Amino acid sequence: MKFIGLFIMGIFAGSMIAIQSVLNSALGRKTGNLGSVLILTLVSVSLLLVLIVLFPRTANLRDLPGLSEWYLYIGGALGVVILAVPIFLIPRIGTTSTLTALVVGQLGLSLFIDHFGLFGFAKVEISSTRMFGVALLALGAFLIKQ
């Protein structure tokens, strides 16, 4: 039962990505793609600062990783890509095709990360069933565009 509740939470968050992507793209039409990413990042930082002040136990910035773990900071650069690509794609291929492509990419790379246990996470081997599921999603993405 706990899994179902958490899964529903994930579905809710995923649905918010659709709204976020459309709003970000609309902002991008007014401010330019990278202008939109900059504004959105500034809004995010401002909100995070307020939340950290209100809930200080949710952030421990004293134990930041050192140079030997430089790769842990790549997520910030990836965040720019994750914000910018839908802003660019939605006006060109639509919200459904854009978000479906993002999910296909997420699941495809997730299979690889799980299989090799990258970044210190548990290994979950690629199976034909899991690959078939991602292939079905890719096929669904193609059918959605038709």
Confidence class for position 19, pLDDT limits 50, 70, 90: very high
Q: How far apart, in whole angstroms, are the C-alpha atoms of residue 135 and residue 144?
A: 14
Kindly report the pTM of this predicted structure: 0.81
Q: Report the amino acid identity of residue 11.
A: I
pLDDT at 116: 95
Parse the chain into domains and list their residue ranges: 2-60+77-145
| H or E stretch covering 28 | helix 2-31
pLDDT per residue over 73-108, tens digit each? Answer: 999 999 999 999 999 999 998 888 898 889 888 888
Helix axes 95-116, 2-31, angle to 10 degrees: 130
Of the chain, the percentage scoring pLDDT greater than 70 comes to: 99
